[in-house]
Amino acid sequence: MPQCGFSRAVVQVLDIHQVPLEKLKTYNVLEDAELRSSIKEFSDWPTIPQVYVNGEFIGGCDVLLSMHQSGEFEDLLMKHGIIPRIETSGSS
């Protein structure tokens, strides 16, 4: 479990959505100062953690939590095939 509370919150959201471990790629930026500064420049986002879905920058913890609460994050995960689509049954 991450040391950072914001990173822990991101992990919890990923767990809630049952994102398979093989679909995740994580980096410990505490162990790599160059990565820590470079990723902030790459994304033009000042904070960590940073969440990417299929290489597209989504945002940080606050953005992810907002997307989770609105249902947007689950939709995004399903759209990219990261989690299975929820089948809704039609009227019978």
61 is in an annotated binding site: no
Let me know: does 62 contact 9? Beta carbons within 8 Å: no
Compute the C-alpha angle 55/60/62, nearest 5°.
140
Output b/e per residue, 11-45; b: 16+ Cβ within 10 A.
Answer: bebbeeeebeeeeeeeeebeeeeeeeeebeeebeb
Q: Which residues are annotated as a binding site for [2Fe-2S] cluster?
A: 4
Q: Which residues are annotated as a binding site?
A: 4
